[in-house]
């Protein structure tokens, strides 16, 4: 093993250790609310990233796509981020009395929250969270575990089982992503609601899964580990990124426009906070980074299969997704945007852990699903 390969995990573990010290210190010095806001932020970020990747895997089986078979192992590996996200989410349940107004005793005196007391309360919130984790674990076991086992067994029956399971998973996915949206994100401001908020969070999760998949594909190509994956496959990944960039923007704008037009006090307060002070700059940056730049960067046919451009856009989309989650979570603290040492400590700890996990995941199984009978057809894919 080369020195660079030995150093990389050492640096990541060092970053995690340094970040862990900062995380512990922030609990004492930065306040409980800010500590738990950072913790929930990283839980939602990891969970939506893994969930978006698992959606890609299920979508291939659902529509019986052939072109994506050679790169399917990549989103399967990214989807395993759901496994470390589960204990992070269990710890995040401790944030409920601190950040979520519906779980506090004084919620009984609020007419709106009192009517949602059973739904917003800690017991049922926890049950829904455990249900979500269970459904995700089942999806990983069937779709990802089955695919890895097929490398050895070469059993073509797995494809049929996965295709039969995919519709059921899509139904459970819709439930899980909706619970993430309304419990962990919208639940921070329970008086406010949006009928399409779950779709908005889904679009961001799918985009983050696509971006991570594209980056990992390009990384493995640089290491000559995906022989046979060509620009035609990259073009389809770039096309999906482009299409769902537009979709995310459409849902986000539609949600804002309808509330702006109706001008109801219970609805506009959500955007009033995010368009005031320094949050206005975050909102404008989000629109620019999540839509304007990637839209024009990928609008041409050649751009969608250009590895350098696709890599830059994928990095940008992951950053934009993180900024989106920050924009959804941190305004509830009643503070101006802050990016100081508590946020840096959490970033060192969780980014180091995520990269270490993905580094290990990229070594699991074959780089392509070699037992899939449609692999050859996928490698022969031409636009």
pLDDT tens string for the chain (383 positions)?
A: 344 444 588 888 888 899 899 888 888 887 789 999 999 999 999 999 999 999 999 999 999 999 999 999 999 999 999 999 999 999 999 999 999 998 988 888 888 888 888 889 999 999 999 999 999 999 999 999 999 999 999 999 999 999 999 999 999 999 999 999 999 999 999 988 888 999 999 999 999 999 999 999 999 999 999 999 999 999 999 999 999 999 999 999 999 998 998 888 888 889 999 998 899 999 999 999 999 999 999 999 999 999 999 999 999 999 999 999 999 999 998 888 988 889 999 999 999 999 999 999 999 889 999 999 999 999 999 88
- pLDDT at residue 335, rounded to an integer: 85
Q: What pLDDT, on a 0 to 100 scale, did the predictor assign at position 139?
A: 97
C-alpha distance from residue 358 to each of 93, 205, 223, 353 (Å):
25, 17, 16, 9
For residue 162, which of 56, 75, 61, 70 has the smallest C-alpha distance?
61
Residue 106: what pLDDT? 85
- Which residues, in sequence order, are CB contacts of 26 under 8 Å at separation 6+? 34, 35, 38, 341, 342, 345, 346
**pLDDT in the model for residue 252:** 94
Q: What is the pLDDT of residue 8?
A: 81
Token digits for 192?
């406010």
Per-residue pLDDT at 12: 86
């Amino acid at each position: 093993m080369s020195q660079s390969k030995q150093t990389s995990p050492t640096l990541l573990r060092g970053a995690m250790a340094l970040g862990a010290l900062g995380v512990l210190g922030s609990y004492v010095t930065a306040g409980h609310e800010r500590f738990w806001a950072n913790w929930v932020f990283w839980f939602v970020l990891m969970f939506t990233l893994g969930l978006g990747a698992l959606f890609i895997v299920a979508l291939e089986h659902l529509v019986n796509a052939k072109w994506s078979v050679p790169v399917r192992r990549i989103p399967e590996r990214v989807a395993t981020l759901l496994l470390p996200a589960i204990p992070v989410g269990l710890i995040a349940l401790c944030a409920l009395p601190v950040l979520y107004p519906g779980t506090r005793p004084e919620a009984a005196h609020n007419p709106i929250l009192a009517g949602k007391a059973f739904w917003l309360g800690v017991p049922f919130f926890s049950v829904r969270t455990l249900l979500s984790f269970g459904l995700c674990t089942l999806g990983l076991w069937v779709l990802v575990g089955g695919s890895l086992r097929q490398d050895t067994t070469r059993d073509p029956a797995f494809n049929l089982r996965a295709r039969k399971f995919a519709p059921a998973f899509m139904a459970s996915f819709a439930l899980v992503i909706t619970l993430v949206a309304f419990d962990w994100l919208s639940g921070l401001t329970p008086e406010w609601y949006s009928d399409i908020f779950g779709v908005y969070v889904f679009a961001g999760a799918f985009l983050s899964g696509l971006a991570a998949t594209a980056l990992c594909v390009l990384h493995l190509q640089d290491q000559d580990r995906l022989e046979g994956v060509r620009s035609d496959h990259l073009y389809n990944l770039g096309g999906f990124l482009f299409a769902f960039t537009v979709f995310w923007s459409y849902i986000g704008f539609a949600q804002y426009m309808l509330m702006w037009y109706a001008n109801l006090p219970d609805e506009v307060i959500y955007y009033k906070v995010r368009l005031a002070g320094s949050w206005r700059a975050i909102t404008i940056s989000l629109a620019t980074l999540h839509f304007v730049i990637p839209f024009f960067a990928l609008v041409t046919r050649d751009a969608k299969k250009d590895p350098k451009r696709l890599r830059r856009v994928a990095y940008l989309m992951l950053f934009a997704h993180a900024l989106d989650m920050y924009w959804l979570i941190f305004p509830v603290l009643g503070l101006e945007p802050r990016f100081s040492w508590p946020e840096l400590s959490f970033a060192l700890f969780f980014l180091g852990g995520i990269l270490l996990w993905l580094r290990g995941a990229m070594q699991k199984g074959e780089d392509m699903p070699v037992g899939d009978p449609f692999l050859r057809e996928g490698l022969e894919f031409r636009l």
